[in-house]
């Protein structure tokens, strides 16, 4: 799996200056009119663009998502429904940011930042040879690109550890961990899953979430749009596992992953999404993160060609929302590099594999 790095869009700026008039006389006998003062040159004020951005946190110094440096100093930040500070954010978390994008295309200001962990619960089994752990009955792949909290390694994980997993979803629905943390002070019998609803049965009041059966008969839907569930809606649920079924308690929440049902999503809104490509229909559409991406004849491809677009690679998409709240891509950047962990310089390039090998740093 390959992870995104920052990128820069060049903005062709222009300066506008106002010309001044000169003095003028009717005859040499008339007093001279003082010359008109030239106004000081001015630079046009270009408004920032409202935007929704969805993707993985790849660095700080501001919060960097999809190569955009977001100022979150005044932002409302939530992680798993809890109010948090910027200090609680970490590389590898999957977030959705509501804010504005500056004219330079690489800086923004966040109004709201929300993140949902894909899974919070105890480990059932560990197979480091296969690179798979199972928690809550859900298989999660660990790769060389998975980030861990400071001091934690895959080898240090133990069956029974309560963990928090942030992840992408692979082409076959498998969770691919982007970050794993030990969940400190876990609440007994309170686990969490987040993802897209599938196999919704409104009679039995059950659905599948990441392949796990959820019983929502004891939960409420007041937090959802129109207070109703639907297949492909991304939700976050809390509850307890009973007889291998997650029995949801309290509200079923609309997940921060769900850009389609976001309250600010509307036609022509600028949006960005980054993650693994899946469900590719060549020349037509694909999914990245939890967003459906539509291709057009005008979509520009960076870092490769349209034929390089394939399920399982990383991509960053920029475009606008259509009337159905899908993201119509104006540009797609294909990502063929390994992960970073601070700022660094390129150490080597493998042109055959299209990989860039940097110092182990992140930006």
| Best CA proximity match to 65, nearest among 50, 51, 80, 83 | 51
Contact of 214 with 206, CB cutoff 8 Å:
yes
Q: What is the pLDDT of residues 161-203, one digit of tens each?
A: 999 999 988 878 889 999 999 987 556 568 999 999 999 999 9
Distance of alpha carbon 330 from alpha carbon 297, whole angstroms:
9
> Which residues on neighbouring strands pair with residue 96, listed in sequence order?
54, 114
Which of 65-79, 82-96, 349-363 has the least mean pLDDT? 349-363
Separation of alpha carbons 140 and 167, rounded Å: 9
Q: What is the pLDDT of residues 284-307, one digit of tens each?
A: 999 988 889 999 999 999 999 999
Q: Tell me how far apart the alpha carbons of residues 214 and 4 are, in angstroms, rounded to a whole number.
A: 33
For residue 330, which of 310, 302, 358, 305 has the smallest C-alpha distance? 302
Confidence check: pLDDT of 220 > 70: yes
Which domains, and CATH codes, for the chain? 189-255 (2.40.50.320)
Q: Whole-angstrom Cα distance, residue 132 to residue 221? A: 33
Q: How far apart are CA 116 and CA 106, in angstroms?
A: 24
pLDDT of residue 194: 95
Mean pLDDT over the full length of the chain: 81
Q: Quick check: helix, strand or coil at residue 187? A: coil
Task: Judge contact between 33 and 39, C-beta under 8 A.
Answer: no
- 261: confidence class by pLDDT, cuts 50, 70, 90: confident
Phi and psi at 306, nearest 5°, equal -55, -35
CA distance 252 to 245: 15
- The pTM for the full model equals 0.78
Query: Are 204 and 233 a contacting pair, CB within 8 Å?
Result: no
């Amino acid at each position: 799996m390959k992870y995104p790095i920052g990128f820069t869009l060049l903005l062709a700026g222009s300066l506008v200056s106002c010309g001044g008039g000169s003095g003028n006389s009717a005859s040499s006998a008339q007093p001279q009119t003082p010359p008109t003062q030239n106004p000081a040159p001015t630079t046009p004020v270009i408004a920032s663009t409202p935007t929704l951005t969805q993707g993985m946190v790849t660095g700080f110094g501001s919060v960097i998502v999809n190569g955009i440096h977001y100022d979150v100093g005044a932002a409302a930040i939530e992680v798993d429904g809890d109010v948090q500070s910027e200090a609680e954010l970490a590389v590898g978390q999957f977030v959705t940011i509501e804010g504005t994008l500056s004219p330079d295309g690489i800086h923004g200001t966040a109004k709201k930042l929300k993140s949902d962990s894909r899974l919070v619960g105890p480990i059932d089994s560990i197979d480091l040879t296969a690179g798979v752990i199972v928690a809550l009955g859900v298989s999660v792949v660990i790769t060389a690109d998975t980030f861990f909290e400071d001091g934690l390694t895959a080898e240090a994980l133990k069956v029974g550890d309560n963990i928090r997993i942030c992840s992408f979803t692979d082409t076959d629905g498998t969770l691919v961990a982007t970050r794993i943390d030990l969940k400190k002070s876990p609440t007994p019998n309170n686990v969490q899953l987040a993802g897209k609803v599938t196999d919704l049965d409104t009679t039995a009041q059950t659905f599948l979430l990441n392949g796990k059966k959820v019983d929502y008969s004891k939960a409420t839907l007041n937090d959802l749009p129109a207070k109703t569930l639907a297949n492909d809606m991304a939700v976050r649920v809390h509850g307890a596992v009973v007889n291998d079924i997650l029995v949801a308690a309290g509200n079923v929440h609309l997940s921060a992953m769900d850009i389609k049902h976001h309250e600010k999503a509307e036609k022509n809104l600028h949006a960005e999404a980054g993650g693994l490509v899946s469900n590719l229909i060549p020349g037509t559409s694909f999914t990245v993160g939890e967003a459906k991406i539509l291709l057009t004849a005008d979509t520009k491809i960076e870092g490769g060609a349209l034929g390089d677009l394939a399920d399982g690679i990383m991509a960053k998409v920029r475009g606008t929302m259509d009337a159905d709240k899908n993201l119509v891509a104006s540009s797609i950047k294909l990502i063929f590099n390994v992960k970073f962990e601070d700022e660094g310089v390129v150490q080597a390039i493998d042109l055959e594999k299209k990989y860039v090998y940097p110092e182990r740093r992140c930006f």
